[in-house]
Structure 1
Amino acid sequence: MTAPAAESRPVPRFGLVAQVDHADLAGGIALFEDADRLGYDVGYVRVRHLQDALSSPLPFLTAAALHTERIQVGTAVIPLRFENAGRLAEDLATTDLLTGGRLRPGLGSGYSAHDAIYTRAFGQVQGDRTEMVNRVLHDLLRFVDGEVVAGADAHIEGVEPGTPLRIEPRAEGLRERLAYGAASPARAAMAGSLGLGLQLATMAPDDGSGRSFEVLQLEALRAYREASREAGHGDGHVMVSRQMLPMRTEEELEQWVSLIPRERAAAPAVAAEHAGVEIGGNPAVFSRVVLDDPMTVAHALLSDAVVQEADEICLVLPFGASAHARHQVLETFATDVVPHLLTAIV
């Protein structure tokens, strides 16, 4: 879903973000097959623990890649609160090799408001949660970069004693495709300084200033760009997701309207920007939802200042939609919205 780039701005990539339930893994793979045929550049899955949605996304993404030809596959996001850096480095690299270098992992922090329910399965957070997440993140990056973690002893078969040992396997190009899902300017700047991509979702932390979602998120995006440039990584890569769904008929609209509100944050029928509580229990400002004809959706995206500065635009599918409804909206977005966006942007 790309076109020759104009000098004014590189052509953005287009993708989707979906929730795949364990009870319908085949339907999730079919969704990726649809997106691949329709020309989407990348498909991301949400990650959830102790719920029906994907808890272990990498095996699913491997299967999705084997059923598709070109679409890249990723996560939005893997919560690092639940991860061991060494095992995750192994799993990411193995998945990247199996997918032919098509993996685009998105990493993030995790949940905080009700952390106690995860203790039995995932262990207790040692010390400050943010510090723990940072340790896992920095260790993961060092392992992916090839840090020597030990020297072989006489018990490592087939390896000369003293040989430097690293996390295996190694996957070329994986480091450049890692991204971090950050909402605040501080965390976005951290991602930029580390040479990670940035994933921006449909909410931003409410700082009490009364500023709009768009203004808050634009601040995070620009903090990321500045930090990335200062660290010598150039402009970096920004993925922004939006829940703006094109509808061709009233019947299609009826299929989707019951799925809004999304993310358990809005009151029924709320579609405008609004304040709420995000999954971790913290105050947040949520983006508007648009369910309308394709031209209205295109205009809404083009009027979004964050979208205008992003490198990748992703359509967020509310969970609970039927396979038919998901295919309809993916097709309409690809055929009736993206061409308008490309014409206006480039």
Structure 2
Amino acid sequence: MSLARLGFLTIGLFDPAHPRGGHETTLQLIELGERLGFDSAWVRQRHLQFGISSPAAVLAAATQRTSRIALGTAVIPLGAENPLRLAEDLATVDVLSGGRLNPGFSTGTPMHFDDYKEALYPGTWSDEDLSYARLLRFRGFVRGDQVSDFSGREGIEEYSERVEPHAAGLADRLWYGAGSTRSARWAGASGFHLLTSSVVQSEGGVTSFAEVQRAQIDAYREELGGAGRVSQGLVVIPTDSATPRQVERYRAYVAGRAGRVGVPQGPRGMLFAADLVGTSAEIASRLQEDVAFQAVDEVAFALPFSFEHDDYVQLLTDIAGALAPLLGWRAAA
């Protein structure tokens, strides 16, 4: 299967003493991605860390510095959000972008929720519904479902019964970040696109990441009669134009994370994909042998967390210029 859509994913790290710099370089990477022909740029969300805490704000800025590239979130943990307010924010971003927003979400209990739940929902956190239903509520809000019993004129002001601005089509561009067969099936049955990353939940004693991920993709598509959009987010580190010093650092980074591959981690038995480092030809060969990659035609390759800006420029340039064409991709005009 040829690669039809090429994307990348960044966490947007910043120096806590100088946060503007990291946010600016994130925007510069998105601009570079558009110039290189990438079809999409995605940002992670991290609460109480030195990464992007407000994807809506960052992507709103990106809408004014790009004109074509799709802008996504991978993912927003919905348990830490008010769905109605988030619907207003993301609808605004979509309107500013001209309909380019592709929000991705997770449900359930957010990471380290117990450490800040009282600050987020003082005295009421136990009453919050963190289930799939929270995402369905959000979709209803952006779809235009009624949220207020009052509409019309009051004095000189006009009120709407639905979330405004209304972003036509946004409800059809929502993604769900699934890591288990159960959540993949739910995403398919509920009509969401599927984001699958470099972390999945092991199931049935299988410890091959690619086999588990492929089974989850197949389960998702089974719910949709074989259809459905799936984006895969592996870490790829092409070295074609890297300096010897960069190559040395890249290989050390991968070696430092290799011990977790194939070994279920934590109480849920999470499996991590191997980071792929090497020439574009070497990475393309490994991807083409990957049974999960064989089932997708779009990707959001994840940039490693802790690299420097120049490293990311080199990686994006090699991904678009060397790796992706070997996978059948052609740059957007």
- Using the alignment, how far apart are the partners of 2:34 and 2:238 within structure 1? 19
Match of 1:221 among 214, 217, 224: 217
Letter in 2 for 1:148: Q
More off after superposition, 151-160 vs 30-39: 151-160
- CA deviations over 1:69-95 (Å, ceiling 9, x no partner): 211111100001101111111111111
Runs of 4+ in 1 over 3 A off after TM superposition: 110-114, 153-160, 257-261
Match of 2:288 among 297, 302, 311: 302
**Cα distance change on mapping 1:25 and 1:189 into 2, 3 Å:** same
Shift of residue 126 of structure 1? 2.6
- CA deviations over 1:137-165 (Å, ceiling 9, x no partner): 111111122212233278844579xx971
Match of 2:149 among 145, 148, 151: 151
- Using the alignment, how far apart are the partners of 1:219 and 1:125 within structure 2? 35
Which residue is 2:246 aligned to?
252
Letter in 2 for 1:322: E
1:1-346 matches, within 5 Å, as 11-22=3-14, 23=19, 24-109=22-107, 111=109, 114-123=112-121, 125-126=125-126, 132-152=130-150, 156-157=154-155, 165-207=161-203, 209-229=205-225, 235-248=227-240, 249=242, 250-260=244-254, 268=256, 270=258, 273-277=261-265, 282-342=268-328
Letter in 2 for 1:182: A
Shift of residue 112 of structure 1? 5.1
- Using the alignment, how far apart are the partners of 1:326 and 1:86 within structure 2? 35
Classify the secondary structure of the residue corresponding to 1:132: coil
- Using the alignment, how far apart are the partners of 1:343 and 1:323 within structure 2? 25
**Cα distance change on mapping 1:113 and 1:104 into 2, 3 Å:** closer
**Cα distance change on mapping 1:68 and 1:113 into 2, 3 Å:** closer
Letter in 2 for 1:225: R
> What TM-score do the two structures reach when normalised by structure 2?
0.88
Q: Give % identity.
A: 32
Letter in 2 for 1:205: Q
Letter in 2 for 1:270: A
Classify the secondary structure of the residue corresponding to 1:151: coil
- Using the alignment, how far apart are the partners of 1:186 and 1:151 within structure 2? 36
- Using the alignment, how far apart are the partners of 2:164 and 2:257 within structure 1? 50
Shift of residue 209 of structure 1? 0.7
Shift of residue 269 of structure 1? 5.1
**Cα distance change on mapping 1:164 and 1:45 into 2, 3 Å:** closer
- CA deviations over 1:235-274 (Å, ceiling 9, x no partner): 121010111211025333123234447xxxxxx2517832
Aligned residues of 2:206 and 2:212 also touching (Cα < 8 A): no
Structure 1: state its 5+ residue gaps: 1-8, 262-267
- Using the alignment, how far apart are the partners of 1:149 and 1:343 within structure 2? 43
Structure 2: state its 5+ residue gaps: none
Shift of residue 296 of structure 1? 0.3
Higher relative contact order (CA 8 A, sep 6+): 2
- Using the alignment, how far apart are the partners of 1:26 and 1:331 within structure 2? 19
Classify the secondary structure of the residue corresponding to 1:48: coil
Shift of residue 63 of structure 1? 0.9
Letter in 2 for 1:255: R
